[in-house]
Structures are given as structure tokens and as C-alpha cells.
Amino acid sequence: MRRTALVTGITGQDGAYLAKFLLEKDYKVYGLIRRSVRHAFENLEYLGVDREIEYLNGDMTDESSLIKAVHQTRPDEVYNLAAQSFVGASWEQPHLTTQVNAIGVLNLLEAVKLHAPRARFYQASTSEMFGNSGREGLQTEDTPFHPRSPYAIAKLYAYWIVVNYRESYAMYCVNGILFNHESPIRGKEFVSRKVTDGVARIKLGLNERLHLGNLDSQRDWGFAGDFVEAMWRMLQQPEPKNYIVATGETHTIRELVEVAFRRVGIEDWEPHVFIDPAFKRPAELYTLRGDNSLAQRDLNWQPRVRFKELVEMMVDADLKRVEAEIASGRRPTGG
């Protein structure tokens, strides 16, 4: 029988890559979407999978809509990717972030417990939960958590409630502790895409400068297309466990900026970057670098795309997109 998956956050970056991956494995994919005046299917369209998904209405903050969605679909696998996913915005909207990223997960677990207790449940956990912990800047599954943003604190509640449902009700629930992962459809508020889109606009003469915050923090950046495969592998194991998914390499924002500008032939990038205090965080995470050995061993998973290739892929995609905007006469936006 065809396996079924219910994916929340289907319209986001990971939702689109995961939907593509699951469809290629012949899953029936249900996607939860929230009510909106205009639906944003552009990520799914970009990957060419928007028409192959069956959509259901619902919101993580509305338990009854989740109960209905699970009851209607009775999925074999549930991937909870929905979130207020931007750390920066979580200081501005801490209540909303908590409702969606913490209580929303409890709502979905309850719905699954009620109507699909044998479903396998994936929770999108995050390296942000570690804060600045980790010996020599390396985080493992055993590194103590010390979240430093309302986003990370809400995700930590979600992490523990998922573990608790596994321990209390013998449900197959896992946390994928994913480090930053990017792609040509990453949201433009995140630094990777902000830089690659900004560099494309500077190269094509639409902008002069890029406003950025802290260039010295370091991130372990991987490719979303690689990371969604690890999510699926976590749900195919004999026992549920939490896993770090990371590349094991770390780079500064400055290196990201350099690689992106170099891709379009600009070596002297500093005149194009303005350090704007508005983009500095009230509490920063200095270095993230994940130890992915458990995922390599149990899941037989490895990242394929490395840092330079990832940044160049994103710059190339943004150049194409901005060129198309110019050619179509549409007023270019963003940056």
C-alpha cells in the first residue's frame, strides 16, 4: 500500500524539499496550510511539486484543526516543520513564537495520539537550543542546552514534549536537531539568502549596498535538499532516537559574504557592506558546529553539498531570478 505522510510547514523551504523527496519515494503527501489571503506556493512551484500534494487547512495554534487533519489523513508518518522559524523575529513576537513553536507541537502530538498513535512523528528541532554550549565549539547530542532566544526556548519545550510522548505513550517520536540549512528557496530574512539575493542585485546594478549585522558569528551551513533525507531516515529506524544533522564544518558570515561576492567577480566587497546595528541580536550565538557521527552511523547519512558549492548555487539562482525580473519589466523587490 502507498505510504502516507502529513507535513506541516509544507509551504516553507524544508516542506517543499521534503515533499519532493517523499513524492519521489511514491508517498501520498498531505500538506497542512494555514488560511491566508494569498497562498504562497512559490517554493513548491519552484521544485515542481505544488500540484501533487493534497492540501488541508489548519493552524498549529488551533488544536481542533490539527485533530481534524490527522483524523482525515491517518498518516503513517507526520513531519512537523511548521514554525515561526526566524530567530530575529522571536524577540519581537515572543508570544506568537511560543504559541506556534511550543504549544503548537503539543497540539499536534495530542492529535496524533488520538487518531494515529502508531504514526511516526518527526519534530524539527534546532541547533539554536544549544546556545553557546559545546566543548571547543562542537555540539553533540549530549551537549547541554542553553537557549538564547524566545525561538530557541520554545523549540526546547517542543524537544522535551516530543521526548515525553515517546516515554509516556510509547509513540515513535524523534527530534532532528538540524543545524542551519539553506537553498535557493531559503527565506530572504535569513543571512545566507539575504546575502546571495543582495549580491545578485548589486551585480545587476539594482542596489549598491547590503546592510548586515554581526559578521563574526559562525554557522554550520548545509543544503536543505540533503537534510530532508535525514528526516525521513530517522523515521525508518527500529527505535526512535534524536539525531544531530550537520555538516561538521563552520564558517563566519564574513566568509559567506566573500564567497558570494567572488562568485559574481567582485573581490573588493567591503565598500558594498554596511554594518547596521539594527541587524545585531540582543543575544548572539557565536559558533555552531555539529557532530554528525551518530547520524552517519545509524542513518548512513552524509551531507553531499559543501559550503562553497551551496553559496554559489544560491548566488547563481538569485542572479537568474533577478535577471528574469528585470527582463519581465516587473519592479524588482527585496534585498
Binding-site ranges for ligand NDP (CB under 6 A): 8-15, 34, 36, 40, 59-61, 81-85, 100, 124, 126, 178, 180-181, 187
CA gap 251, 236 in Å, rounded:
32
Question: Would you count residue 253 as binding ligand GDP (CB under 6 A)?
Answer: yes
Neighbour-count burial for 193-213, b at 16+ CB within 10 Å, e otherwise: bbbbbbbbbbbbebbeebebb
Q: Which of 20, 115, 219, 289 binds ligand GDP (CB under 6 A)?
A: 219
Nearer to ligand NDP by Cβ, of 222 and 335: the residue is: 222
Q: Which one of 46, 55, 190, 269 is in contact with ligand GDP (CB under 6 A)?
A: 190
What residue ranges in the chain does DSSP mark as E strands?
Answer: 4-8, 28-33, 54-57, 77-80, 120-126, 172-178, 181-182, 210-212, 218-219, 222-223, 243-245, 251-252, 273-275
User: By three-state DSSP, how is residue 121 classified?
Assistant: strand
Task: Look at residues 89, 86, 78, 91 and name the one whose alpha carbon lies nearest to residue 126.
Answer: 86
Among ligand GDP, ligand NDP, none, residue 109 binds (CB under 5-8 Å by kind): none
Q: Is 187 in the site for ligand GDP (CB under 6 A)?
A: no
Alpha-carbon distance 177 to 245, whole Å? 6
Per CB under 6 A, 105 contacts ligand GDP: no
191-210 positions binding ligand GDP, by CB under 6 A: 191-192, 194
Output 81 or 295, the one with its CB closest to ligand NDP.
81
Burial of 332 (0-12, 13-18, 19+ CB in 10 A): middle
9 binds, among ligand GDP, ligand NDP, none (CB under 5 to 8 A by kind): ligand NDP
- Judged by beta carbon, residue 121 or residue 159, the one nearer ligand GDP is 159
How open is the CA angle 30-33-39, to the nearest 5 degrees?
Answer: 125
Nearest to ligand NDP of 55, 279 (CB atom): 55
- Asked if residues 72 and 33 have their Cβ atoms less than 8 Å apart, the reply is no
Pick the closer one to ligand GDP by CB: 164 or 214.
214
126 is annotated as an active-site residue: yes
Q: Please report whether residue 88 would count as binding ligand GDP according to CB under 6 A.
A: yes
Nearer to ligand NDP, 60 or 256 (CB): 60
CA distance linking residue 180 with residue 248, whole number of Å:
11
Q: How many other C-beta atoms lie within 10 A of the C-beta of residue 334?
A: 16
Query: CB–CB of 303/226 below 8 Å?
Result: yes
Q: Indicate whether 93 belongs to the interface with ligand GDP (CB under 6 A).
A: no
Catalytic residue among 11, 73, 98, 126: 126
Choose the one of ligand NDP, ligand GDP, none that binds residue 94, judging by a C-beta under 5 to 8 angstroms depending on kind.
none
241, 262, 281, 308: which one binds ligand GDP (CB under 6 A): 281
Q: Is 159 tagged catalytic?
A: no
Catalytic annotation present for 167: no
Residues near ligand GDP, by CB under 6 A:
87-88, 128, 180, 189-192, 194, 212-214, 217, 219, 253, 279, 281, 284-285
